[in-house]
A and B are shown apart, each in its own frame.
Chain A
Amino acid sequence: MAEAPLIEIRQLTKRFGALTAVDSLDLTVRAGEIYGLLGPNGAGKSTTIRTLMGFVRPTAGHAGLLGGTAHDLALRARVGYVGGDGVLDRGLRAGELLRWYGDLRGGIDPARVAGLCERLGLDPGRRIGQLSSGNRQKVAIVQAFMHDPDVLVLDEPTSGLDPLLQRSVLELVRERRDAGAAVLFSSHLLPEVEDVADRVGILRTGRLVREDTIVNLREIARHRLELRFATDLPPGLLDGVDGVASVEVDGRTAQLVVDGSVAELVRRVAGYGVERIVSHDDDLEDIFFTYYQTAEGERP
């Protein structure tokens, strides 16, 4: 029998005046699962998360965690949160803020905090206001993980971090997942979610337009690739390849749009001296093209 989910959002609707930010959203995250909430800016990711954390109240429906809501302090004590804007008290030293937050949680083992700081390369003696945005984000990460939470709610937690640190953070997230925590992880970048999430939901104008495992989503993800060859392409080489939606050849360079797997394409060009493959698939609206099309075929 499946356990009750640690994060449970049922028919959640949140309106701000005339704007419906989240619309009848259903979403659950079980223990030991990382759920990637994908969507471009303004899709309703932050509103969903802020409702779950109790910062805003649902217009209708329910946003719950650990069997209750974040308004229950005993439950909130078991949650770790990284907010979307990563703003912390600028006048404080990183270590002072971590100690303060730790005290609010009834005291945290200083060795645990020091270990996290070291792992992320954060100097706790510096004032938060003087830190780069990446280092500020590290403070936010440390305070979210220092009490080994059972639920992690992370709103774009790797924004501002370089790729190496991104990987350290994703590693921390996986460790918590393996320890049995439920993780809700929002992002507007597919590659990062692809890396870490077990399941993914795609949010568009407040509605969940698709929810699936990452394996299935890869099937439909659209890539934009640029292939550069050592010599001019033989005519017709790229015609009729499975999954290739469009091709533009210009001398030794080919611009391709591929839906789903690129395996067939790679097989076809093998032996033709591909010098470089450049991927441009960082725009979510591009990748999940079909979900972001409106009825008229325009971008919303």
Chain B
Amino acid sequence: MIVLGQMLAERRRSLVWWSLSIAALAAIVGASYPAVRDVGSQIEQLVRQLPRGVLELMGAGGGIASPAGYLNSRFYSGLFPILLLVFGIMVAAWTVAGAEREGTLEPLLANPVSRTRVALERFAGTAVLLAVLTSAGTAVFVVLRGPFELASLGVGRLVAAGVGVFLLAMVFTALTFATGAATGNKGAAIAAGAGTAAATYLVFALAAFVEFFRNLRWLSPWDWFLSPSPLTGGWTAWAVWPPLLVVAAAVAVGTALFARRDLR
């Protein structure tokens, strides 16, 4: 675990800043809940007149005045996963392709350490960093449920949502990692991760309105995570198993190709 340990040590400082930022955002969103709820009943009536698709797009299928509906629409269906996947894609693009481009991968591989080990330890390192960030956001709600008047939301639901959003971000992180490992091209790696995230979000967002996308929504990791949201529905198999499968397959293929190809 020497490569993993080194990676975490090097990213300690940036991890602290990212964690603090995400925790601060979560705190702001959480602290605003009582005010939103107070005017919520009027908004709720307004909102209910919107088409169902719009509500789902807002992540507000369960209303926006309930704790679950509010957190889902304000945090878990947009801001939180996007921050996580931006971080995940950034780090994953560096693990192999970025390091190769900056020229630090070759000297590392002159040591008696296999490419497979470097790739897997660095992917594991990315997962650890992402897990810390997810925990930072989740912990704010768990600890401050009382003051934020979110107490009706069980800790179990928050943990389920945390795991779900982590796995959602991991899907795009793994695709970035795998593309970078297989090709050594950092630009292609970022494009693969960010592009898939955007495209599958579009499928999810338009599924409520367009028949064509409705038939594809089962392909979208956003759909796996958000319909229904673990905040309202608790643990779902869709939020856990499909992302795990995609991550495992992408990492296996990317690492295997990396072990065989020429370094650039």
Partners in one complex: yes
Output the least CB separation between A176 and chain B (Å): 16
A143 touches B112 (CB 8 A): no
Whether, in the assembled complex, A167 has its beta carbon less than 8 Å from a beta carbon of chain B, the answer is: no
B262 touches A140 (CB 8 A): no
The A73-127 residues at the B interface (CB cut-off 8 A) are: 73-74, 76-77, 79, 81, 83, 85, 87-92, 100-101, 103-105
A104 to B5, CA, bound (A): 11
- Chain B residues positioned under 8 Å from A89 (CB to CB): 10, 104
Output the least CB separation between A50 and chain B (Å): 7
Contact of B103 among A56, A77, A85, A144 (CB under 8 A): A85
Q: A76-B112, A77-B112, A105-B111 are in contact. Are A55 and B103 (CB under 8 A)?
A: no
A50 to B106, CA, bound (A): 9
Whether, in the assembled complex, B151 has its beta carbon less than 8 Å from a beta carbon of chain A, the answer is: no
- Chain B residues positioned under 8 Å from A77 (CB to CB): 112
Whether, in the assembled complex, A10 has its beta carbon less than 8 Å from a beta carbon of chain B, the answer is: no
- Chain B residues positioned under 8 Å from A85 (CB to CB): 103
B112 touches A74 (CB 8 A): yes
Whether, in the assembled complex, A218 has its beta carbon less than 8 Å from a beta carbon of chain B, the answer is: no
Whether, in the assembled complex, A57 has its beta carbon less than 8 Å from a beta carbon of chain B, the answer is: yes
Whether, in the assembled complex, A63 has its beta carbon less than 8 Å from a beta carbon of chain B, the answer is: no
The B216-264 residues at the A interface (CB cut-off 8 A) are: 260, 262-263
A56 to B263, CA, bound (A): 6
A76 touches B103 (CB 8 A): no
A53 to B104, CA, bound (A): 15
Contact of A76 among B3, B107, B111, B260 (CB under 8 A): B111
Whether, in the assembled complex, B102 has its beta carbon less than 8 Å from a beta carbon of chain A, the answer is: yes
Whether, in the assembled complex, B32 has its beta carbon less than 8 Å from a beta carbon of chain A, the answer is: no
Q: A50-B263, A87-B102, A87-B103 are in contact. Are A100 and B112 (CB under 8 A)?
A: no
A291 to B263, CA, bound (A): 31
- Chain A residues positioned under 8 Å from B107 (CB to CB): 81, 83, 87-88, 140, 143
Contact of A81 among B3, B10, B102, B110 (CB under 8 A): B110
Q: A85-B103, A88-B104, A100-B2 are in contact. Are A55 and B112 (CB under 8 A)?
A: no
- Chain B residues positioned under 8 Å from A140 (CB to CB): 107
B6 touches A55 (CB 8 A): no
Taking each of B104, B109, B112, B114, which has the highest tally of chain A beta carbons within 10 Å of its own beta carbon? B112
- Chain B residues positioned under 8 Å from A81 (CB to CB): 107, 110
A90 to B113, CA, bound (A): 21
A101 to B3, CA, bound (A): 10
A15 to B159, CA, bound (A): 53
Output the least CB separation between A20 and chain B (Å): 15
- Chain A residues positioned under 8 Å from B102 (CB to CB): 87, 90
Output the least CB separation between B121 and chain A (Å): 11
Q: A73-B114, A104-B113, A105-B112 are in contact. Are A57 and B104 (CB under 8 A)?
A: no
Output the least CB separation between B55 and chain A (Å): 46
Contact of B2 among A54, A91, A103, A144 (CB under 8 A): A103
Contact of B111 among A55, A57, A101 (CB under 8 A): A101
A146 to B260, CA, bound (A): 29
Output the least CB separation between B126 and chain A (Å): 17
Output the least CB separation between A79 and chain B (Å): 7
Output the least CB separation between B250 and chain A (Å): 24
- Chain B residues positioned under 8 Å from A83 (CB to CB): 103, 106-107, 110
A55 touches B2 (CB 8 A): no
A110 to B99, CA, bound (A): 27
- Chain B residues positioned under 8 Å from A105 (CB to CB): 111-112
A253 to B30, CA, bound (A): 86
Output the least CB separation between A201 and chain B (Å): 22
B110 touches A76 (CB 8 A): yes
Contact of A55 among B109, B113, B260 (CB under 8 A): B109
A54 to B114, CA, bound (A): 11
A79 touches B110 (CB 8 A): yes
- Chain A residues positioned under 8 Å from B114 (CB to CB): 73
Contact of A104 among B103, B106, B111 (CB under 8 A): B111
- Chain A residues positioned under 8 Å from B10 (CB to CB): 89, 91-92
A54 to B107, CA, bound (A): 12
A90 to B6, CA, bound (A): 14
Q: A76-B112, A77-B112, A103-B2 are in contact. Are A55 and B104 (CB under 8 A)?
A: no
B110 touches A73 (CB 8 A): no
A92 to B11, CA, bound (A): 11
B2 touches A73 (CB 8 A): no
- Chain A residues positioned under 8 Å from B103 (CB to CB): 83, 85, 87
Contact of A73 among B3, B106, B113, B260 (CB under 8 A): B113
A74 to B112, CA, bound (A): 7
Output the least CB separation between A55 and chain B (Å): 4
User: Which residues of B come within 8 Å of A, CB atoms?
Assistant: 2-3, 6, 10, 102-104, 106-114, 260, 262-263
- CB-CB nearest 10 A-B residue pairs: A87-B103, A81-B110, A77-B112, A56-B262, A104-B111, A73-B112, A55-B263, A76-B112, A103-B2, A89-B104
10 contacts between A and B (CB under 8 A): A53-B110, A55-B263, A73-B112, A76-B110, A90-B102, A91-B10, A101-B108, A104-B113, A105-B112, A143-B107
